[in-house]
């Protein structure tokens, strides 16, 4: 017993003083020798899942509520008021409220019950997400490490970014084929289980955090923004959130391109037939603009000899009209050489 205390102190001393000093010394050394600091001292970041636990803890207390006002009070004090700093940012930009949560919990009981274990399992997937970031660090020049917040939203957002923070609405993002969707609206039914695996989603959203000169998008540039996020994520990590869209797109590439070209000419600012459609697509998968944008990004990237520079250009949203021109994609989907399917 007597020997354990001093050794603990030694460990604490090493942790609190020696390591930071060592890192600082390496940083100075790195600056002097132009070696990347991250080679030695990995950039700190956080994958926050505490808000998911807070949400379900709050839900477990709802049986004590006598009135709707009591339920609202529980969600407010046990979930919203306990928000982590990252979830506070999510609340600020998406404006989730306690009355909205209570309304949704009451309306879709089977759905909430079925999504719970899937959201609680997200914490177990942190090592896979860390591997994704490792691939970005190794493959993307100038990569800035984002933080991640998995929380429970109000069925309005699967994933978004705020500067260098990835915000995931886990109640949508974690859904798979096992989720009970019978109570949900047709639009919610159409998106549940179709947002791709959460690790792939993190890869896609990570690219959005690296994009710069983001601006108001046209149909073309909006699709390149989304498609290049898919392309870069797949290129670096092998993961893609849109396998269904790609399967359909590859089989109908020429037809789709002709429709897209016409929409670009007739309604260049209207994205509604190509992106963020939800249920609004008849006879074909929604959001095929991800596929078109991916193909343009891929065609551009393939033609560039300096791949590092090409990746950087694909992150610069101001350059998307140039990316389109240099991709020469418009000549490809319907050419005899194209590997199109049934068209
Ligand atoms: Zn996106």
238 and 199, same domain (yes or no): no
d(CA 32, CA 24): 12
In a domain? residue 184: yes
Q: Which whole number is the average pLDDT over 31-36?
A: 44
d(CA 335, CA 153): 45
Tokens linked to 274: 């190509």
Total count of domains within the chain: 2
Tokens linked to 10: 């030694």
251 and 302, same domain (yes or no): yes
Q: What distance in angstroms lies between residue 173's CA and the mean position of ligand 1's atoms?
A: 13
Q: What distance in angstroms lies between residue 204's CA and the mean position of ligand 1's atoms?
A: 6
Q: What percent of the chain has pLDDT over 70?
A: 85
54 and 81, same domain (yes or no): yes
Residue 280: predicted pLDDT: 63
118 and 137, same domain (yes or no): yes
194 and 114, same domain (yes or no): yes
d(CA 199, CA 240): 9
78 and 178, same domain (yes or no): yes
Cβ neighbours of residue 14 closer than 8 Å, sequence gap 6 or more: none
Angle at 318 between CA 313 and CA 320, to 5 degrees: 65
Residue 214: predicted pLDDT: 85
178 and 317, same domain (yes or no): no
In a domain? residue 8: no
Residue 310: predicted pLDDT: 96
The boundaries of the domain holding residue 244 are 216-331
> Which 3 state secondary structure label does DSSP give 136?
helix
In a domain? residue 321: yes
Q: What distance in angstroms lies between residue 225's CA and the mean position of ligand 1's atoms?
A: 7
d(CA 146, CA 144): 6
Tokens linked to 120: 């609680």
Span of 53-57, 114-118, 121-125, 138-142 with lowest mean pLDDT: 138-142
d(CA 78, CA 65): 13
In a domain? residue 145: yes
Which pTM does this prediction carry? 0.83
Domain final position from 192, 209, 226: 209
In a domain? residue 29: no
94 and 130, same domain (yes or no): yes
Residue recorded with tokens 């260049």:
268
Angle at 60 between CA 100 and CA 185, to 5 degrees: 40
| Environment class of 120 (CB within 10 Å of its CB; exposed 0-12, middle 13-18, buried 19+) | middle
Domain final position from 209, 239, 258: 209
Q: What distance in angstroms lies between residue 339's CA and the mean position of ligand 1's atoms?
A: 26
170 and 62, same domain (yes or no): yes
In a domain? residue 115: yes
**30 pLDDT higher than 50:** no
Neighbours of 253 (CB within 10 A): 21
Domain final position from 183, 209, 235: 209
Q: What distance in angstroms lies between residue 161's CA and the mean position of ligand 1's atoms?
A: 9
92 and 193, same domain (yes or no): yes
132 and 225, same domain (yes or no): no
Q: What distance in angstroms lies between residue 26's CA and the mean position of ligand 1's atoms?
A: 37
Per-residue pLDDT tens digits for 210-252:
999 988 889 999 999 999 999 999 999 999 988 889 999 999 9
In a domain? residue 28: no
In a domain? residue 40: no
CA distances in angstroms from 90 to 94, 97, 165, 249, 335, listed in the order given: 6, 11, 9, 33, 45
Per-residue pLDDT tens digits for 36-48:
444 444 568 999 9
């Amino acid at each position: 017993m007597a020997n354990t205390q001093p050794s603990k102190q030694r460990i604490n001393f090493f942790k609190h003083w020696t390591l930071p000093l060592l890192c600082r010394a390496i940083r100075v050394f790195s600056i002097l020798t132009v070696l990347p600091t991250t080679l030695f001292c990995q950039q700190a970041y956080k994958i926050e899942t505490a808000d998911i636990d807070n949400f379900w803890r709050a839900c477990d207390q709802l049986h004590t509520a006598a009135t709707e006002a009591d339920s609202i009070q529980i969600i407010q004090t046990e979930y919203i008021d306990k928000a982590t700093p990252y979830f506070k940012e999510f609340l600020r930009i998406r404006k989730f409220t306690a009355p909205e949560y209570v309304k949704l919990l009451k309306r879709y009981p089977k759905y909430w019950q079925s999504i719970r274990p899937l959201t609680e399992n997200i914490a177990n997937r942190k090592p896979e997400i860390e591997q994704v970031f490792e691939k970005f660090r190794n493959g993307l020049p100038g990569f800035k490490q984002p933080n991640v917040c998995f929380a429970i939203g109000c069925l309005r957002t699967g994933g978004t970014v705020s500067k260098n923070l990835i915000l995931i609405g886990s109640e949508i993002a974690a859904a798979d084929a096992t989720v009970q969707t019978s109570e949900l609206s047709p639009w919610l039914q159409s998106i549940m289980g179709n947002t791709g695996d959460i690790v792939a989603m993190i890869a896609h959203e990570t690219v959005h955090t690296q994009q710069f000169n983001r601006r108001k998008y046209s149909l073309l540039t909006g699709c390149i923004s989304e498609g290049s996020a898919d392309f870069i994520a797949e290129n670096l990590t092998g993961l893609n959130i849109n396998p269904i869209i790609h399967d359909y797109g590859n089989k109908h590439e020429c037809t789709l391109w002709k429709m897209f070209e016409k929409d670009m000419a007739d309604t260049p600012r209207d994205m509604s037939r190509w992106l963020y459609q939800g249920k609004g697509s008849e006879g074909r998968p929604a959001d095929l603009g991800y596929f078109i944008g991916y193909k343009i990004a891929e065609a551009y990237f393939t033609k560039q000899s300096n791949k590092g520079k090409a990746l950087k250009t694909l992150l610069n949203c101001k350059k998307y009209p140039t990316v389109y021109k240099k991709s020469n994609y418009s000549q490809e989907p319907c050419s005899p050489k194209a590997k199109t399917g049934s068209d």
